[in-house]
Amino acid sequence: MRRYSTEEAARAYFERMRWPNGPVCPHCGSAEKNYALTPNKKARIREGLYKCGTCDDRFSVTVGTVMESSHIPLHKWLIAFYMMCASKTQISALQLQRQLELGSYRTAHFLCARIRYALKDAGPSGLLGGEVEADETYIGGKAKGKGRGYTGNKVAVVSLVQRGGDVRSTVAERVTSKTIDTLLRRHVTEEAHLNTDESPLYTKPGKRFASHARVNHSAEEYGYFDYRSGRTVTTNTVEGFFGNSKRSLDGTHHQVSRQHLHLYTAELDFKYNTRKSTDGERTAEGIRRIEGKRLMYRQKANT
């Protein structure tokens, strides 16, 4: 906060993260002949404005990112990125509003939504392999008069975790065997060894993989060593991820809407996948993801 307390310092940092080799025009993609314009209030030329020598369009570091057309100062954007990326759990919009002295809760909430949208891995590279655990959970509160197994008021989240690697979570309206099969085909290599619980949802999709081992939770079985294959069969990794995620959501937000749950799970996935990075490295990685992710108010509901 001391190093980047001014707009100039924050802008320079964003530019280094987005353009390590010099400014690139977000309109035409040209990296040649781009030059900085001299600030001039009368001509409405502000600090940090560039002109493309190829298409003649003007641009700044915020164009084509989640920060475009925002009136929030850049140094507050940078601090918000750091706070959300460095937090082991999550940060509430009210906390950001209070600590960054933002004008309204609406501004703080949309700031959080934009940053979570930036952290979302739109096109993860490569497939999960090795030992992969798959499971589903349901996010939502208790319904009055209903038992713990009631899911009518909850939203399903399916997560795939490579042991020692990454997690990929998907919010699903309905969890069926077809849904599971689609997600496994999209994210997991066929050479992987799949670990699930005894749910019949995984029976048919699991046949595609090198092996499919199950643990029987209904018999209070949570893990065992398969001497024939020399592998440990368990879903403890993905269940541990679910436990940490639910505590993070419940403790910080108390409740989240079905409409925006995918953004909260994107933030949780990002933090898990960068768990070995320092806070500074995680913040830098989050900022590098702002490219090509402009998000406007009217888009938020359907993003």
**pLDDT-based confidence at residue 295 (cuts at 50, 70, 90):** low
Query: What local confidence, expressed as pLDDT, does residue 303 receive?
Result: 45
- How far is the C-alpha of 211 from the C-alpha of 199, rounded, in Å? 16
Cα–Cα distance for residue pair 33/38, rounded to 1 Å: 16
Beta strand ranges found along 121-240 (DSSP E): 131-139, 155-162, 167-172, 193-197, 211-215, 223-226, 231-234
Helix axes 74-86, 279-288, angle to 10 degrees: 120
Contact in structure between 154 and 138 (CB atoms under 8 Å): yes
68 residue type, one letter: E
Cα 66 to Cα 42: distance, rounded to the nearest angstrom: 28
% of the chain surpassing 90 pLDDT: 75
Answer whether 252's CB lies under 8 Å from 92's CB. yes
Q: What is the pLDDT of residues 139-191, one digit of tens each?
A: 987 778 887 777 778 899 999 999 999 999 999 988 999 999 999 999 999 99
Mean pLDDT of the residues in the chain: 91
% helix / strand / coil in the chain, to the nearest 5?
40, 15, 45
Q: What whole-number distance in Å separates Cα of residue 162 and Cα of residue 120? A: 18
Q: What is the C-alpha radius of gyration for the chain, rounded to an integer number of angstroms?
A: 22
Q: State the average pLDDT over residues 11-17.
A: 95
The pTM (predicted TM-score) of the whole model is 0.90
Going from the C-alpha of 15 to that of each of 6, 51, 67, 120, the distances in angstroms are: 14, 15, 13, 21
Helical pair 279-288 and 7-18, crossing angle rounded to 10 deg: 70
